[in-house]
Amino acid sequence: MEPQNLKWTTVVFLLTFIWWPWRNEVHGQIERAELGKRLQRFELQWAQGNSAQQAAAAQPMQEAVSSFFSLRLLRAAEKLDAAWWTAQSAMPTDFRRFVVAHRIAIQKPIWEATEDSIQVRLEPFYPLECEQEDAQVELTVVQPSLALPLQRPNAVVACGPIVRVSWGEATTGIELDVASLPEGDYEIHASVNFHDASLKLLPCGWSRIRDPGTRIARLREQRNEAEDALAPWLRATSQEQIRVLDSMLSGEFQEIDYPAYHGLAFCEQLLSNRENAADLIRAKAQTRDLWLSVAEGRRKVHLRLRSPTTSDPTKKIPVLILFHGAGGSENMFFETYGAGGAVAAGLERGWLVVATRQSLTGLSLDSKQILEALAPLFPVDDDRVYYLGHSMGAGQVATQVGLHPELPRAVAAIGGGGRPRQIEAAAQVPWFVAAGSLDFGKGGAISLSKSLQRAGGKKIEFREYPDVEHMVIVQAAIADAFAFFDRQANPEP
């Protein structure tokens, strides 16, 4: 192995090893969720900024990424917020920085539908000290948008009472009246209003479910009774959904605001209509994100996916498979990486978008096996398959192309690299390889590009983006990556 590849592989392994234990710790999940929301907020602002603002935000973003991978999570959050302020050329007062350092906190993610109120308080996520100022807080409950983050409307419509309290009252804690709300998934929004401006805090999701304990227990019993008759994907999916719901019912938060009411209701529907489960999946995936697990024997891969809207359920559709970086999950491409930019680009082209979850050792099923497992659910077009991966996910792209070089139409490796097996065959696949000038994964990306060219690759495109570090590189490169995919989908004669 070349020295640069060895160095990159070692870095990715260490980062992955450091981060994976956090997936199972409640406190770590709250921190992961907050970091993801703050990253998403920054990405939305970065997209609106000019080149000077984007370049200026690179330094605090580098510090945020460095803090993230050294497990200084609160420091990472502070630097993400600093990058957000920088990307809008803002000069906030100490108190406004102090306000943005807060999060909306609730006691538990699932609330019994008979409960009339929910306890809410604003609490610091990372420590900042400053002299308190007068401010008013407006709290609202809204139904979350099903759109990708970058496509969500700025204005929200309250579905319950609007509560206005002082900053002191909000940080002490209040009872929010939710008695009139039906079962469902909700978000709490908070706007902190000053005499001349307002700041919106990041929303906090929760679910209102009638008798959740009994329903989850009944769901488990129903699944266990029918386990041998269930399709592998339904057996694995229901098992994972019950695990998530159980953990939320016990008070554990997830790394995202998971829609527990929808997850429970849809899983009940799938198990009660097993004969039509595939039809239900196809229909639902056109309207909202779905979490599915595909399996072969004891091996399984957890996915998050969405299908394009189509009136013909038999028409074959291309597939975009997304591979996240170290410390991430199947949720990253939907929540961050340009606030869902890659998912949006795939759906705009009429592609099925599938994000995978990797473990420490990679994927339990390879890309071909994942596609075969999805075939009973979606009319997959095996001739139009695309891969896109970031950081460790870029290395996974190299691995998957090396395993089945005949499968993808084109691939993108961003912010990292690796050396595919069957390098000569892998080099015949069109590759888009990208890195930022400040990206610690640039060496791996350059090495991958050069190795493919030496192996005879004719469609190997490498792009370096100035003033871009390891996290923003996906957002910066998305448009070019999909333009590259388009050229391979419709090659010039």
Whether residue 165 sits in one domain with residue 79: no
Question: The domain that contains 412 carries what CATH number?
Answer: 3.40.50.1820
Check pLDDT > 70 for residue 312.
Answer: yes
Residues 158 and 64 in one domain: no
> Measured in whole angstroms, how far is the alpha carbon of residue 171 from the centre of its chain?
29
Q: Which domain holds residue 30?
A: 3-93
Does 270 lie in the same domain as 121?
no
Residue 135 is given by DSSP the state -
Question: Sheet containing 290-296: which strands, arranged edge to edge?
Answer: 290-296, 299-306, 352-356, 317-323, 380-390, 410-414, 431-436, 460-465
Percentage of the chain beyond pLDDT 90 is 86
Rounded Cα distance between 382 and 368, Å, is 9
Regarding whether 54 and 202 lie in a shared domain, the answer is: no
Give the mean pLDDT of 202-228.
97
What are the tokens at 118? 């929910």
Per-residue pLDDT, 154:
85
Report yes or no on whether pTM surpasses 0.95.
no
**Do residue 44 and residue 131 come from a single domain?**
no
- pLDDT tens-digit readout, 109-166: 999 999 999 999 999 999 998 888 899 999 999 999 999 999 998 888 899 889 999 9
Residue among 262, 255, 263 nearest 238 (CA): 263
- Dihedral of the alpha carbons of 364, 268, 304, 68, in degrees to the nearest 10: -90
In what helix (H) or strand (E) does residue 414 lie, and over which residues does it extend? strand 410-414
Residue 134: CATH number of its domain: 2.60.40.1930
The answer on 234 and 185 residing in a single domain is: no
Residue 3 has pLDDT above 60, yes or no: no
Q: Which residue type does 61 have?
A: M
Model confidence at 473: pLDDT above 50: yes
pLDDT at 7 over 80: no
Task: Give the pLDDT of residue 492.
Answer: 59
Domain finish residue from 185, 209, 233: 209
Percentage of the chain exceeding pLDDT 70 = 94
Let me know whether 201 and 217 are in one domain.
no
Instruction: Tell me which of 356-360, 447-451, 464-468 is least confident.
Output: 356-360
pLDDT digits (tens, 9 = 90+) for 322-336: 999 998 999 999 999
Q: Are residues 147 and 231 in the same domain?
A: no
Q: How many domains does the chain divide into? A: 3
**pLDDT interval class at 211 (50, 70, 90):** very high
Contact 241, 303 (CB under 8 A): no
- Do 205 and 217 belong to one domain? no
Residue 200: per-residue pLDDT:
96
Strand partners, 137: 165, 192
Helix (H) or strand (E) holding 317: strand 317-323
> What number is the average pLDDT over the span 221-229?
95
* Gyration radius (Cα) of the chain, Å: 23
State the average pLDDT for the chain: 92
**Domain stop point among 147, 175, 209:** 209
The yes-or-no verdict on residue 15 having pLDDT over 80 is no
Domain boundary among 188, 209, 230: 209
- 310 alpha-carbon distance from chain centroid: 24
What residue type is 53 in one-letter code? Q
Instruction: Indicate whether 232 and 182 sit together in one domain.
Output: no
- Looking at the fold, whether 56 and 164 belong to one and the same domain comes out as no
What pLDDT was estimated at residue 197?
86
Same domain, 372 and 242: yes
